Structure formats: C-alpha cells, structure tokens
Structure 1
Amino acid sequence: MPLIVGPTDDKLPRVSPDGLWLAYVSNEAGREEVYVRSLAPGGGRVAVSSSGGGEPLWSRDGRRLFYREDRKLMVADIGLTPRIAVGARRVLFDRPFETDAFHPNYDVFPDGSGFVMVRTNDESRRLVVELNWVATLRRRLGGAK
C-alpha cells in the first residue's frame, strides 16, 4: 500500500520503535526536510526539521528523532499522543561527519548514551590497490597457509 504518492522525492524511511509512525525525508518544500507521519490510513504528518534535514533516526524509546542538518546532528523531541507534535529542536554537535543520500551514516547507542559516526577526513582519503593480497596476508600472519 503506497503511503506517500506524488511528484516529490521522498526517501530514507524510518519506522518508529512502536511501529506507528514513519520518519522520512522529502523535498516537497523545495529543499530536503525531515517529516513524521502516521502509518495509519489518512494519518497526518508534521515537519520535524525547519532549515533543511536528512538522515533521520529514532531514539530507541521513540521520544526523540535525530537528524542531520548540514554538519550538525540535531535532535527533536517528539510527542506521539494524542497526536504527533514536535517539541524542542536542538543541536547536539556540529562537526564534519560523513553524510549519505541513501542511508544514515551514524547510529545511536541502544541506551541512548552516545553515537557512532563516520568522520570526514579528506586528507586520509586514498584508494589503495593491493596486488597479490593473499601473499601479503600470509606474510602478515607469519607464513600461515
């Protein structure tokens, strides 16, 4: 059953932990923003981000939604009952972390105590081609076969 139908580019769907809500990214406002909508037929939706946004991830308890806004990792408090409401939005940190158009490049620790993220370091980007890698692996393992 299609949930979102229209001419916009909608992507990065993330279902809430309780299975009732969908966070996603859409360009319907002219730039990519994060939205949350009900998975129930005819359910409403609300914009979470307001200055551009992407890579949404739910907290494990479903009360917060994390998302990227350029270099910033943002968090929005989400109220889900009796209907969806976005509370305070705040910057958690602003650093150059790797972004991706197709999936979040970070995750939240299960207990909510931290994040794991892919750090951008343009100086260390390089392509390494290892020829005869089996011989190199054997040498590194002390001659093991």
Structure 2
Amino acid sequence: MPQRLRGSQEDLKGFFAAGKEKLSGTAKKAGVRRTNDFIERAKDVDLSSADAETIPVIAMCVVARPRNTAVDDLFYSVLAYGDIREQKIVSAFEENGIDAEFWKLCENRFSYQDPKPTLLKLAMFLFAVYTCKDHLTAAPKQWKMFVQDGIL
C-alpha cells in the first residue's frame, strides 16, 4: 500500500481488529478474516492512483459484499439489501467501526447530511433531490425536509 494511504488504514483499526486492547480469539480470527478479505478486494483497485477515500470504501465492500469493489456497487448493495428500515449493513458497519466512514462517503458523494442519518432518510433524500433536479422546477412543500440548502 502506498505510504500516502497508510493514514486512512490507521483510521480503521477497529475494522482490522488492531490496537492495544486485548481481543478474544473469536475477535482476532474475525479481524484476520476481514484483513484477508480486504487484501483480496484491494487487488481490484489501482492503489497507485487511489485517494484516501478508497481505503474505507474497500473496508465497506468487505462488509457489504458488492459484486465489484466500487463506490456505486457499494451503494447499490447497501440500499438493496433487505428491508431498508432495518439497516442491516449499516449495523454491520457499526460493528466493524466504519459506519462514520459510510456517512462521510454519503456526504461527499451526495451532500447528504443528517445528525441522525438512516438509510430510509438517505433514500428519500436521493429521490427528492434527483426527482426535483431532473423533473421539477421546485420541490413540493412536503419534500422540503429532504432537500437541503444549496442542493436545489
């Protein structure tokens, strides 16, 4: 891994089960499995031209298991998995210490910001923004809660 990306990897110690705290044997094995899966997924990415966002995306792809290691496939997997209200993949992100990275990616990619983000609110936000952008001149009053300043 290029030196310039190592800081991004350091931020994911919980995902890799690395750190100073003592871990159970099960937690260590899970960390080794995630690390090996991360290495396999990283082979799909050109790390020599990757940016700092790439490392957390690879980690999220390990958890969400999209077909390809790409941001669009990651979002498809997260939004299409099961009941959107249950947020099973986001819960798995939380368990692996990468949920903040997911919501940061949503903010960077879609300008979605919410103090208590959920997948359902993200989906409604995307629907409102892209429907207004592509088909309406202004958002209906009922949609104002999903549309943030400066987006439309």
Q: TM-score normalized by structure 1?
A: 0.25
Higher RCO (C-alpha 8 Å, min separation 6)? 2
Q: Which is strand-richer, 1 or 2?
A: 1
If each structure's helix is expressed as a fraction of its own residues, which one has the higher value?
2
Give the structure-2-normalised TM-score: 0.24
